Amino acid sequence: MTAVDSRPVAELAQGSVRRTPGDRVKAFIALTKPRIIELLLITTVPVMFLAEQGVPDLWLVFATCLGGYLSAGGANALNMYLDRDIDALMHRTRNRPLVTGVVRPVECLAFGIALAVISTLWFGLTVNWLSAWLALGALAFYVLVYTMLLKRRTSQNIVWGGIAGCMPVLIGWSSVTNSVSWAAVILFLVMFFWTPPHYWPLSMKVKDDYARVGVPMLPVVAANTVVARQIVIYSWVMVLVSLALWPLGYTGWFYPVVAGAAGAWWLWEAHTLLGRARAGHQGVKLKEMRLFHWSITYVSVVFLAVAIDPFLR
């Protein structure tokens, strides 16, 4: 990990750390980034319905979700351990447990490793070993490739680092079939092309934070018009890929109708953002968070359609 400045961590921790048992429990839960994991599970469970072409075994759904939470939670804890220096300097991360001192770095490291081991064994023993290796691969990619290699070195960090966030799709499918099909690969690609236009609007909002700590997110190193144009390109590819499930015979009529409508709205928002970026010199507000919030709704709606479609075929 490249050190930026460890002094703010100690300064923030002094005299302000609450160490009641309740605070400690909340802090360790916060290390797993529950809100991010919610989004990962939204893409896992519907794929299980599609793979089963109906309602999958409920115990299997529970086992897969729990294993997914533990694995992603371990990855997130290790990410916080490696990023604790820059987290102390960024406004949106300065209240994280390692920054405030509620959790010590060595505790965070041990916690993350323990979750990685437990989640892998849980998947292998209660789901199947293919899902276990996919989950472990996602964790390793997020920590070793994204956090340690890409995040602080390239503006394409979130593009390739986002592969880890696409893996729950493959895990959901493999948990039911103990295999990976082209349907799962298509939905994997939907998430791959979704991740940059989902995260770049947020990065545009907080680019001063990233600039302060030397993380070259695309909005830090490129003009808003360039970022918005990239968002439009990725958005078009994402929508087209999402519709490929239907002609390949993996869904009936319901999914493409919903995915097409949601995709059309997404493209409207993406092109509108590009228009506002081009007019920025005229004092037009960027309103970049509109697309960020819609991106979460979009992926929820599309994957809900994935789960419902088998019942309407």
N-to-C CA span, the chain: 51
As a whole number, mean pLDDT of residues 70-96 equals 94
Confidence category of residue 3, pLDDT binned at 50, 70, 90:
very low
Distance separating alpha carbons of residues 30 and 24, to the nearest angstrom: 10
**Residue 154, Cβ density class (10 Å: 0-12 exposed, 13-18 middle, ≥19 buried):** middle
Residue 12: is its pLDDT beyond 70?
A: no
Q: Which of these, 55, 64, 49, lies nearest to 251 by C-alpha position?
A: 49
**Residue 264, Cβ density class (10 Å: 0-12 exposed, 13-18 middle, ≥19 buried):** exposed
Comparison of pLDDT for 19 and 297, the residue scoring more = 297
- Note the pLDDT tens digit of each residue in 244-286: 999 989 999 999 999 999 999 999 999 999 999 999 777 678 9
Distance separating alpha carbons of residues 187 and 168, to the nearest angstrom: 10
The rounded mean pLDDT for the chain is 92
* % of the chain beyond a pLDDT of 90: 87
Residue 6: is its pLDDT beyond 90?
A: no
Q: CA 45: distance to chain centroid?
A: 15
Cα angle at 129 between 128 and 131, to 5 degrees? Answer: 75
Give the per-residue pLDDT at 88: 92
For residue 308, the one-letter residue type is I
- Note the pLDDT tens digit of each residue in 146-170: 999 999 999 999 999 999 999 999 9
- Phi/psi class of residue 239: alpha, beta or left (left: φ > 0; alpha: ψ in -120 to 50)? alpha
Give the per-residue pLDDT at 313: 78
Give the per-residue pLDDT at 143: 97
* % of the chain beyond a pLDDT of 70: 94
Confidence category of residue 14, pLDDT binned at 50, 70, 90:
very low
Give the per-residue pLDDT at 15: 41
Q: Tokens at residue 180, please?
A: 């990976």
Q: Which CATH number fits domain 21-175: 3.40.50.300, 1.10.357.140, 1.10.10.10, 1.10.287.3510?
A: 1.10.357.140
Give the per-residue pLDDT at 10: 42
Confidence category of residue 8, pLDDT binned at 50, 70, 90:
very low
Three-state SS for 77-123 is: HHHHHHCHHHHCCCHHHCCCHHHHCCCCHHHHHHHHHHHHHHHHHHH
pTM of the prediction? 0.91
DSSP conformation class of 181: -
For residue 84, the one-letter residue type is R
Q: Tokens at residue 302, please?
A: 């599309």
CB 31 within 8 A of CB 97: yes
CATH architecture of 181-313: Up-down Bundle (1.20)
Give the per-residue pLDDT at 20: 82
Confidence category of residue 214, pLDDT binned at 50, 70, 90:
very high
Residues 6+ apart with CB under 8 A from 20: none
Residue 11: is its pLDDT beyond 60?
A: no
What residue spans define the domains of the chain?
21-175, 181-313
DSSP conformation class of 147: I
Comparison of pLDDT for 125 and 39, the residue scoring more = 125
